[in-house]
Structure 1
Amino acid sequence: MKTPGRLRPRSLRTRLVLIATVLATAAVLVCQATGLTLMRSWLVGQVDDRLTDFRPPSPVYRDISGGTAPAHRPPAHEILPSDFRVYFYDAEGRLLPESLGDGRSEPRLRRTVTAGDPVDGRPATVPAEDGGGSWRVVADSGPDGMRAVVALPLDSVEEATSRLLWFSLGIGVATAAGVTLLGGAAVRLGLRPLTRVEHTARSITSGELEQNVTDTSPDTEVGRLGIAFNTMLDQLRAALHRKDRTERRLRRFMADAGHELRTPLTSLQGFAELLLHDPHMSASRRREAHELIAQNADRMSRLVDSLFLLAKLGDAPTTEHGPVDLLSLAADGIAATAVRHPERRVTLAPLGVRGAGDPGELDVVEGSGDPHQLAQVLSNLLDNACTHTPPGTRIEVRVGSLRAGPRTGGADRPGRTSANPPLPSGEPAHVIEVADDGPGLSPQDAAQVFDRFYRAQPAAGSSRDGVLAGGSGLGLAIASTIAEAHGGRLELDTGPGEGCAFRLLLPAGPAPGRPDAERCQAACRSDAPRS
């Protein structure tokens, strides 16, 4: 709660100028006060030295005590130097009226002193009888119990001190005014980069999100603030772009899913109505209608299962990893493909060697991952190669290890596409590669081959349409998601007339797991269809 009437500067510039003014003025005043104190102490010390160095001559005591003024006594200005005044006390402690020295004022001295009062020659300050001046006095003992008090006025000391005091106050006022004026300009100049940051922030809040702070020198506080501000803006823009891309992909995904479900659903509805409206249909036509209904129902079931699997992979993308023999996995995948596609010949070879190799001569490559998920990826890739290439096309599965890079694999380069981020350069990785000598894909098709529901145009002479046999265009999307869940990468090297080489790369080290891996593993071990 604010106190009524309390003045608080709101601007940082005002606060800085006020603080600088107060500090500078205080420093000047402290210095001047210290100098004033030292100068006054030095001047008073000079007066004390003069007092302690002067002693009245002994004949003067006798003349003063006798009450006579002998003819041979010299004038006062010859006895006393400068403006000295000397007062005498008799043996009984009474102040005598005779004194030496002239002046319009005199010190206020005690009229009587006792014998017990100390007389040690220590100077003291006493006020004047009239006016506001003061005197510096020192007492000393004389012959026959008499005492003498030597006094000097402090008018010159007080005048010098007063002048210096007024001079100090003037310097303080001038300093405060100068710091206020010049400090305001200096602070305004020094805060100009911060003002630019403020203007940039206002522009960004107005919708100009592409602006950046220009002052980014790491040697200054404002520069470091600009670097942090630009980093925050980059992250904000990236988050907004990701949000826009996610919304666009979600809308496209919902439209594609609706389109994919509409076709079999329309077929189911049509054949069901046909059976209802034509009860006298022949047995052969009725059986054909039932088969078409079953096929479309199976297609819808596989589509829904694939969507359900993708959703679960997105919720729990990391599985429980264990050792996996990739060579045995590839051999099992080739055996299963031979059952599904008996007309196709698929061979096994080491990575980097073209042509069929002797499986007995291949080295064992042991990776880490979920064997069920990796088997599903390999099955999808082999089905894709068998379905999407003309009969007689050579298909080869290669197993081995490499270090990630543009030339070997795992990093981006022209002619290579992937939906997964690249692996760190030089990182060792285990590889399963499915390559064919088919017609390959155009750059436009290759750029979208990992998108959900995407189907490339069938190659001339291929057995069926679609990216994956009888599928919905989700097979490669599922395979890419599983690869990324293992910390790896699924990529494609292709070109028109160059064939396709799908490469699954898994980091050689163990990939990190997540607490929710059990849900993903259970989802991937379910009866997910091959697209």
Structure 2
Amino acid sequence: MRISRRLRPRSLRTRLVLIATVLATSAVLVCQAAGLTVMRSWLTDQIDERLTDFRPPSPVYRDVADGNGLDHRARTDDVLPSDYRVFFYGANGRLLSESLGRSDGEPRLPHTAAALKLWNGRPTTVPAETGDGSWRVVADSGSDGMRAVVALPLDTVEGATSKLLWFSLAIGTVVAAAVMVLGSVAVRLGLRPLNRVEDTARRITHGELALSVTETSPDTEVGRLGIAFNTMLDQLRAALHRKDAFERRLRRFMADAGHELRTPLTSIQGFSELLLQQPAMAPLQRNEAHELIARNADRMSRLVDDLLMLAQIGDTPAIRRELVDLLSLAADGVTATALRHPDRDIRLVPLADEDTTPGELDVVEALGDPHQLAQVIGNLLANACTHTPSDTRIEVRVGTVRTGPRAGGTDRAGRTSAAGPMTPGIPASVIEVADDGPGLAADDAHQVFERFYRACHTGAVEAQPGSGLGLAIASTIAEAHGGRLELDTGTGEGCTFRLLVPETTAPKGHTR
């Protein structure tokens, strides 16, 4: 078994050449064998015709019966063809010693006519008495119960067959050698595109990842292999890019999280050491230190809670699914924000267009988690209040739309989102939080949904620094509900954050 495995060719080129050689040689040998069989049959038929056309003369039977066969041999040999032999069986069924003909050798015949087993006029082949030759014989009946056996040697047939056999073997050998040489060249030329694919794959494994296979004709096997190979390379490159981007985001996220946590931890550590080192500190200063410690601990706690929420939303996209009244959630969010920012102008209005009467509010329902959707509204309102001047007007708009470039849900110039576009033309419930503040530049707008990113706003009054996770959390919640959170903005144009949730039930609001 091991020897057969070692002798088995592993190269595709070698296997193809061997297969072509075997097939070509087999075809030649089969054709030669068929020709040899046909020629031998034709020569044998010629001999059979000569045997069946010849009959010993009647006087010969009488001469042999009278015992005068030897005396008249000269006369009978003159009329008998030179390569014929004629043998006789007497009336008693015994093989007689007299025979006619001058051919060398004789066929092997039985001593009695009963053992002859020959039909008159039907030729058959018998071996020679001596040597490896053979004879073609036919039986004939004479007078007085005698029988004659006429024989012709098959030396001519066997000689021609032997020569043709050796000729066939020589032709087969020449064909095999020619096919091996020419087939090797032809296979090498035919496999040249496959060799180029192999060379490209080897170079890619050595680090040249930008290469692609040039053999991409769909009409050839190698071309289709090249197309499949390039498709696989594209998918691998895309996977590598995604992996690299994910690793970069993860490293940046860890660095940002460490930075955000380090600031409150440093403050807590510093004030704690101060309290321990100065036990006789004045009560006012001690209370101030305790307040700063509590404030930084609260900030760190909120940061950790936000991080946990992001992880939980990514692992379990929907904690609960129920029919939610978005108008009520928006009203609760506006009321809570107004209590925290009494000097702010915050309004709840319908999502208006040219077909909607201003001031008309109606119930808008969507299927989702009410607590998560309420958190999105709260984050958007807190973001607007934190990053805009105090005299900025904020509007919360509620309604339904069909997704598109104008209504929202798909991409267009001046619009950014962390999620991909939704299917155009589907109904969606919408909550917009819009302000008429300074807006965002394009660079800031493209990064506003990234974790720990905080844009600088001219004129904004930030009472307490945020974690930079509010919009990232809101965007993740929107994606978990099958929708998306997007931003329409521009420098000096204000910001409009739009939450879209696909409708699964018929809404009661209007559609624009």
1:65 maps to what in 2? 65
2:88 maps to what in 1? 88
Residue 509 (structure 1) shift: 4.8
2:358 maps to what in 1? 357
Kindly tell me: are residues 259 and 119 of structure 1, through their superposed partners in 2, closer, same or farther at Cα, counting changes over 3 Å?
closer
TM-score computed with the length of structure 2 as normaliser = 0.88
Q: Distance in 1 between matches of 2:352 and 2:181?
A: 77
1:199 maps to what in 2? 199
Q: Distance in 2 between matches of 1:159 and 1:104?
A: 16
Residue 453 (structure 1) shift: 1.0
Residue 381 (structure 1) shift: 1.0
Query: Is 1:249–2:249 an aligned residue pair?
Result: yes
2:392 maps to what in 1? 393
2:439 touches 2:489 (CA, 8 Å); kept in 1?
yes
2:429 maps to what in 1? 430
| SS of residue matched to 1:472 | coil
Q: Distance in 2 between matches of 1:119 and 1:448?
A: 110
| SS of residue matched to 1:345 | strand
Kindly tell me: are residues 251 and 356 of structure 1, through their superposed partners in 2, closer, same or farther at Cα, counting changes over 3 Å?
farther
2:401 touches 2:429 (CA, 8 Å); kept in 1?
yes
1:477 maps to what in 2? 472
Kindly tell me: are residues 161 and 118 of structure 1, through their superposed partners in 2, closer, same or farther at Cα, counting changes over 3 Å?
closer
1:347 touches 1:397 (CA, 8 Å); kept in 2?
yes
Residue 177 (structure 1) shift: 0.9
2:214 maps to what in 1? 214
User: Once structures 1 and 2 are overlaid, which stretch shifts more, 64-73 or 321-330?
Assistant: 64-73
Q: Distance in 2 between matches of 1:489 and 1:184?
A: 62
Residue 502 (structure 1) shift: 1.5
1:528 maps to what in 2? none
Deviation string 1:127-147 (CA, Å, 9 cap, x unpaired) is 334543321001122221010
User: Once structures 1 and 2 are overlaid, which stretch shifts more, 74-83 or 141-150?
Assistant: 74-83
Structure 2, gaps ≥5 residues long = 506-512
Kindly tell me: are residues 135 and 2 of structure 1, through their superposed partners in 2, closer, same or farther at Cα, counting changes over 3 Å?
closer
Q: Distance in 2 between matches of 1:183 and 1:481?
A: 64
Q: Distance in 1 between matches of 2:401 and 2:171?
A: 79
1:124 touches 1:138 (CA, 8 Å); kept in 2?
yes
Within 5 Å, give how 1:371-520 maps onto structure 2: 371-460=370-459, 462-464=460-462, 470-509=465-504
Residue 279 (structure 1) shift: 5.4
Q: Distance in 1 between matches of 2:424 and 2:41?
A: 79
TM-score computed with the length of structure 1 as normaliser = 0.85
Kindly tell me: are residues 81 and 434 of structure 1, through their superposed partners in 2, closer, same or farther at Cα, counting changes over 3 Å?
farther
1:36 maps to what in 2? 36
User: Once structures 1 and 2 are overlaid, which stretch shifts more, 67-76 or 397-406?
Assistant: 67-76
Q: Distance in 2 between matches of 1:177 and 1:128?
A: 39
1:349 touches 1:359 (CA, 8 Å); kept in 2?
yes
How many residue pairs match? The answer is: 504
State the Cα RMSD in Å: 3.1
Q: Distance in 2 between matches of 1:403 and 1:100?
A: 117
Residue 312 (structure 1) shift: 2.2
1:93 touches 1:115 (CA, 8 Å); kept in 2?
no
Kindly tell me: are residues 113 and 251 of structure 1, through their superposed partners in 2, closer, same or farther at Cα, counting changes over 3 Å?
same
2:142 maps to what in 1? 142
Structure 1, gaps ≥5 residues long = 511-531
| SS of residue matched to 2:2 | coil
User: Once structures 1 and 2 are overlaid, which stretch shifts more, 76-85 or 406-415?
Assistant: 76-85
Residue 419 (structure 1) shift: 1.5
Q: Distance in 1 between matches of 2:122 and 2:68?
A: 30
Q: Distance in 1 between matches of 2:258 and 2:70?
A: 140
2:26 maps to what in 1? 26
Deviation string 1:309-331 (CA, Å, 9 cap, x unpaired) is 22222333343433323333333
2:60 touches 2:76 (CA, 8 Å); kept in 1?
no
Q: Distance in 1 between matches of 2:174 and 2:201?
A: 39
Q: Distance in 2 between matches of 1:438 and 1:231?
A: 48
| SS of residue matched to 1:212 | coil
Residue 449 (structure 1) shift: 0.6
1:309 maps to what in 2? 309
Query: Which residue type is aligned with residue 190 of structure 1?
Result: G
1:348 touches 1:359 (CA, 8 Å); kept in 2?
yes
Within 5 Å, give how 1:240-279 maps onto structure 2: 240-276=240-276
Q: Distance in 1 between matches of 2:141 and 2:250?
A: 112
Q: Distance in 2 between matches of 1:68 and 1:257?
A: 134
Kindly tell me: are residues 408 and 212 of structure 1, through their superposed partners in 2, closer, same or farther at Cα, counting changes over 3 Å?
farther
Query: Which residue type is aligned with residue 440 of structure 2?
Result: L
2:17 maps to what in 1? 17
Kindly tell me: are residues 266 and 119 of structure 1, through their superposed partners in 2, closer, same or farther at Cα, counting changes over 3 Å?
closer
Q: Distance in 1 between matches of 2:404 and 2:77?
A: 110
Q: Distance in 2 between matches of 1:443 and 1:354?
A: 32
Deviation string 1:80-114 (CA, Å, 9 cap, x unpaired) is 45733322222122333444433233333334333
Query: Which residue type is aligned with residue 450 of structure 2?
Result: D
Q: Distance in 1 between matches of 2:359 and 2:21?
A: 89
Q: Distance in 1 between matches of 2:394 and 2:436?
A: 7
Kindly tell me: are residues 118 and 4 of structure 1, through their superposed partners in 2, closer, same or farther at Cα, counting changes over 3 Å?
closer
| SS of residue matched to 1:196 | helix
Query: Which residue type is aligned with residue 501 of structure 1?
Result: T
| SS of residue matched to 1:135 | strand
Residue 72 (structure 1) shift: 11
Deviation string 1:389-431 (CA, Å, 9 cap, x unpaired) is 2234332333344444444433333322222222244444333
Q: Distance in 2 between matches of 1:357 and 1:5?
A: 86
Kindly tell me: are residues 472 and 71 of structure 1, through their superposed partners in 2, closer, same or farther at Cα, counting changes over 3 Å?
closer
